[in-house]
Structure 1
Amino acid sequence: MGHRFKKEHQAECLIKLSELLKEGFPLSEALTFLVHLMVKQKPIFVYMEQALKSGKSFDSILGICGFDQSITTRIYLAQLHGHLQEVLFSCGHQLKERRKQYQKIQQLCLYPTILLCFIIGLIIGIQQFFLPSLEDMFHQSNYENSQFTFFLIKALPVYILWSIVMCVLCFLLLLFYYQKQSPMKKARFLSKIPFIKKWIKWYYTSYFSRELAYLLGSQYGFNEVVDVLKKGNTLPLLKEFVVLVEHYMQQGQTISDVIRKLPFLSEEMALVIEHGEKISHLSMKLSVFSKDNLEKLEKDIHQKMTWIQPILFLSVGLFIVAIYIALMMPMFDMVNHVLVE
């Protein structure tokens, strides 16, 4: 545990390491220098330097230090294709952006959560203190509609609670099913969820395009790329992907044909590969295509964030108004009944 970075320090570590490599520092010296730049993380950098000298690969060291496998896979591939400084910088900014989005989601959920807690407290308070007195008044009334309305008000929180419990149970069962699936099936499953399938496709398309671009730009052929990804320290999804590619290529199909069979990768990626193979510069085209998909993803997430919070506030507000109306309806019914009599 003492050798693991906190999430908020991971991006800073990779970006500063990238800057030092750009200035010409060897990796081991850069780690030594970071001890003075990030003093609180000194024990981690000392461990990293010692592990590097003992012969451990840099990507495996980062994994031990708490970095996600999606990051360590990119570092592993970067060491092969010689773009370590660029990839460190890219990963650092990716982690930074991911943390910003996570913090935005937390802020989006904070106020509606507080309001929902207030509503729950309000319902409990009404049931404990207000409804008993109201119930006595309704029992003295012979107006059946008022009593029926009162029953709905009293039973509604119970129905809502059970609905929430059932939704949570369904979610947990779905999560259990999801965790049991292979990486490829997980990606297929996520690509079918209505609200996020577009994001999933952009993310995976950007990821696969970027890694292929780096490897092909290092003079690897497709067969060599398949071999590197299959045998190396890469994400299980990448391994499963290249095994599938290898299987179809042995049957005479191309990588473009394989991409078209996968719902979590865009059709445009297959077209870019076909076009790039014809006129060369495939790695450059894939790199530009990867950046374009990443920009689309970040832009769309940012746009969605701007209107999710107003919708949450509106939903909570309408819920509060509905509770108020539901509470006042029996009162109006009873007053109307008294006036009629």
Structure 2
Amino acid sequence: MAISLKKPTTATLFRTHKETLRQGRFLKRCGQLLLDGFSLQEALVFLETIVDSDSRQMIEVVHKEVSRGELFSAALKEAGFSDVVCAQLYFSLFHGQLAQTAVKAGSQLLKQAEKKRKMQALLQYPVVLLFFVMIMLLAMRFVLLPHIHELTALQPEQLDIGTRLVVAGVYHAPVILAGGSLVFLLILLLLINKGRKLTPMNRLQWLTRWTRSSLFTLYWSQFFSNEWGFLLKGNSSLLEVVTIMKKNTLSPLITEVGEYIEMEMKQGKSFHDSLQELAFLKKEVILVVRQGEKSGHLGQELEMYARECEEEFDKQIEQVMNWVQPVIFIFVALVIVAIYAALLLPTFNALQTF
């Protein structure tokens, strides 16, 4: 029987909470079974029997690809897992810690799913409020303000400057918001179009420099430090690490980074010097690599640094989530106050003229 699966979106950002949760649970359970002595085939067969129908479809795709002789990482790619997750499992072929990597990748996906769930819960009520505020603004412009103007029979010049500004702001708010949204959408489409013309590494370099966000540098510093640390602890040399990255076919970004580092090293630069121009890596990565090369414990030091980056990344995400809802509520409150002011101030001005 042919296996049919609606392939998940490639971009991690646009995956739903449920989709990420499914993938995380599968990888973590699979890794735990491998640690308990199951073979990969046995683990997949067992998991197919205990999961829901949606997860079963995903596992069947993985099982089918593995049975055909494909690598586990390539099978995950076919099932719709992200390039980053597939690359992690690909690297495990060389450092020999497939089970531990699957558990770690699954745990990371579960954390991502929890963050998405929290963000959805945080935004649900404010988004509903924003919707009703927009309806109120439209009602003010096309229904209430014209009636108030007719009832009070006041000319704009008869109103004080504060009242005129408030009324004009509320009256033109729908146009301002609609125009602002269109401009934002246009800029976003232009940026997306520009990004598509760049190679994966140059796109990430450009995004990191343009946004100035430490989240990019923390995420990718954690990823590369962790994978390099695993490979080095698995007795790979730095040159072998670069070769493994370059030969990876599952993530164009990692392949390009490997090719770039190899090109820099061929020009006589050391491994840590070849990282200087990679804007998506924190400067501390270079210092850790330089120190690790001297001490001979580079693998362990990179792993420890990766854990610190992961903790800092999680902390910053929590801070962003804690700010989102209050900022939206403040905006909604200001709009509601402006609406009340636009209703009451002209009325008070009219009463003062009698």
- TM-score > 0.5, shorter chain as reference: yes
Quick check: 2:20–2:112 contact (8 Å CA) kept in 1? Answer: no
Matched, 1:222 2:238: yes
What residue in structure 2 maps to residue 303 of structure 1?
Answer: 319
What residue in structure 2 maps to residue 58 of structure 1?
Answer: 72
What residue in structure 2 maps to residue 88 of structure 1?
Answer: 102
What residue in structure 2 maps to residue 319 of structure 1?
Answer: 335
Pair 142,33 (structure 1): closer, same or farther in 2 beyond 3 Å:
closer
Matched, 1:180 2:183: no
Instruction: Give, in whole Å, the separation in 1 of the partners of 2:67 and 2:264.
Output: 41
Residues 148-205 of structure 1 deviation map (CA, whole Å, 9 limit, x = unaligned): 93555433432332222222222222222223222122222222345x6111111110
Matched, 1:144 2:161: no
What residue in structure 1 maps to residue 115 of structure 2?
Answer: 101
Larger mean Cα displacement after TM superposition, 269-278 or 232-241: 232-241
Q: Count residues with an aligned counterpart.
A: 336
Larger mean Cα displacement after TM superposition, 268-277 or 162-171: 162-171
What residue in structure 2 maps to residue 252 of structure 1?
Answer: 268
Instruction: Give, in whole Å, the separation in 2 of the partners of 1:73 and 1:228.
Output: 10
Pair 178,77 (structure 1): closer, same or farther in 2 beyond 3 Å:
same
Residues 252-287 of structure 1 deviation map (CA, whole Å, 9 limit, x = unaligned): 111211222222111111111111111111111111
Q: What code does the residue aligned with 1:192 have?
A: R
Instruction: Give, in whole Å, the separation in 2 of the partners of 1:244 and 1:90.
Output: 28
Pair 278,141 (structure 1): closer, same or farther in 2 beyond 3 Å:
closer
Instruction: Give, in whole Å, the separation in 2 of the partners of 1:163 and 1:43.
Output: 43
Percentage of matched positions with identical amino acids: 29
What residue in structure 2 maps to residue 328 of structure 1?
Answer: 344
Q: What code does the residue aligned with 1:18 have?
A: G
Q: What code does the residue aligned with 2:180 have?
A: S
SS at match of 1:191: helix
Pair 279,319 (structure 1): closer, same or farther in 2 beyond 3 Å:
same
Q: State the TM-score, normalizing by the size of structure 1.
A: 0.91
- Unaligned 5+ segments in structure 1 are none
Instruction: Give, in whole Å, the separation in 1 of the partners of 2:351 and 2:33.
Output: 78
Q: Which residue, out of 131, 135, 140, partners 1:121?
A: 135
- 1:134 Cα deviation after fit: 1.7
Larger mean Cα displacement after TM superposition, 66-75 or 254-263: 254-263
Q: Which residue, out of 32, 53, 64, partners 2:45?
A: 32
Q: Which residue, out of 149, 153, 159, partners 2:176?
A: 159
Pair 67,104 (structure 1): closer, same or farther in 2 beyond 3 Å:
same
Quick check: 1:51–1:61 contact (8 Å CA) kept in 2? Answer: yes
**Alpha-carbon RMSD:** 2.2
Pair 144,239 (structure 1): closer, same or farther in 2 beyond 3 Å:
same
Matched, 1:10 2:23: yes
